[in-house]
Copies of this chain bind each other. A is one copy, B any other.
Amino acid sequence: MEKDNFYMNLALKEAKKGRYQTWKNPMVGAVIVKNNHILATGYHHHYGQNHAERDAISKLTPEQLFNSTLYVTLEPCNHYGKQPPCSDLIIKSRIKRVVIAQVDPHKLVTGKGIAKLKNAGIQVTTGVLADEASELNKFYSYFYQHDFPWVAVKEATSLDNKVAIHGQRTPITNQAVYQQVHSERADYQAVMIGSTTAIIDNPILGTNIKSDYPPIRIIIDRRGRLLNHLHLNLLSDTNSTWIFTQNEQMAENCFNNPKIEVIHLETEKIQEVFNYLSKKGIQSVYVEGGPTLEKAIMNEIFVNEVIKYTAPIFLGDEGVTGLVPNETVHLTNIKRTILGDNERIAGELKHV
């Protein structure tokens, strides 16, 4: 048992090497062991490339693989996706035992890989460091368990809960927060803002993390105000932007930019936006404001997490008030981080 934990920990470390490049796939790591010797390690390097098991197995000869133990952080797949099933490869490799951390939450996979291995006479152990493995792919796991993205609502406010001076772009937080936001965006598959934030702040919503899969920028623009603001960064640069609108006239070709998609909304419900994102397989959304959009989201859909940055300033009566939900919201699993004279607090919502 102690040995299993040791090797699985190593496999988790391997998995993390794929961070920011596996996109909609989970990070997965694998370690192959025989007679207390590590023969090979592997991980899922990049979306569309070899799975972790294949990456490790490919480094060994059939003789080495025979009777070995494979540690893998996620249940091996048993379906044809971008890659042939790993379960078949493991059986063919005559591996004796497979130790798994997390059972795959993906409905197409869960339990099937394990059943296949067992049917082939392979010893299977599950649940070794399962919590750590699940945490590693928190958004992936959540998405496939709930058919809905993990939604984080983020805001940056003064001590009097103001997000800006009315009508002005108002930088409140410090450089350390700027860096932190630019790195945490990379953890999400989409970032979302309202049209007012797009117009007043003219943000890029970029990240300082090198990744082939930067988050898709989403703008909620029901009235189609962006048609009068074609110069905005989000409408003219080369990353993907999705605009959700109820404006019948707005179409993709309005923007003369192939990276822009326009999605027409049929209702006033913010739920409709998130249902669309779910269908598109977007596993995680980082909502960056403004407060009107955040309030609608907090009140209408299942929000998982609030991340709030605060700066040591009061903006006073001239300030635009930040997020105030309809009702009391308790947070749990609180993480506070001091960033210079600013602070980050993150907490998950208690839902009943």
The yes or no answer to A326 lying at the interface (CB within 8 A) is: yes
Is the Cβ of B316 less than 8 Å from the Cβ of A159? no
The yes or no answer to A329 lying at the interface (CB within 8 A) is: yes
Is the Cβ of A324 less than 8 Å from the Cβ of B314? yes
Is the Cβ of A328 less than 8 Å from the Cβ of B316? yes
Q: A161-B161, A338-B336 are in contact. Are A317 and B308 (CB under 8 A)?
A: no
Among B306, B324, B347, point to the contact of A319 (Cβ < 8 A). B324
Is the Cβ of B326 less than 8 Å from the Cβ of A317? yes
Question: Quick one: copies of this chain in the complex?
Answer: 2
Contacts of A331 in B (CB 8 A): 159, 312-314
Among B313, B316, B323, point to the contact of A160 (Cβ < 8 A). B323
Interface string of A324-352 (1 = CB under 8 A from B): 11111111001010100101010100000
Report Cα–Cα, A319/B324, bound state, in Å.
9
The yes or no answer to A268 lying at the interface (CB within 8 A) is: no
Q: A312-B345, A334-B341, A345-B343 are in contact. Are A328 and B324 (CB under 8 A)?
A: no
Count chain B CB atoms within 10 A of each CB in A165, A315, A316, A322 and give the residue with the most: A316
The yes or no answer to A248 lying at the interface (CB within 8 A) is: no
Report Cα–Cα, A81/B323, bound state, in Å.
56
Contacts of A330 in B (CB 8 A): 312-313
Is the Cβ of B328 less than 8 Å from the Cβ of A315? yes
Is the Cβ of B329 less than 8 Å from the Cβ of A314? yes
The yes or no answer to A2 lying at the interface (CB within 8 A) is: no
The yes or no answer to A318 lying at the interface (CB within 8 A) is: yes
Is the Cβ of B312 less than 8 Å from the Cβ of A347? yes
Pairs A–B under 8 Å by Cβ, sample size 13: A159-B161, A306-B314, A310-B310, A310-B345, A312-B334, A313-B328, A314-B323, A314-B328, A316-B325, A336-B338, A336-B341, A338-B338, A343-B343
Residues of chain A having any CB pair with chain B under 8 Å: 159-162, 165, 306, 308, 310, 312-319, 322-331, 334, 336, 338, 341, 343, 345, 347
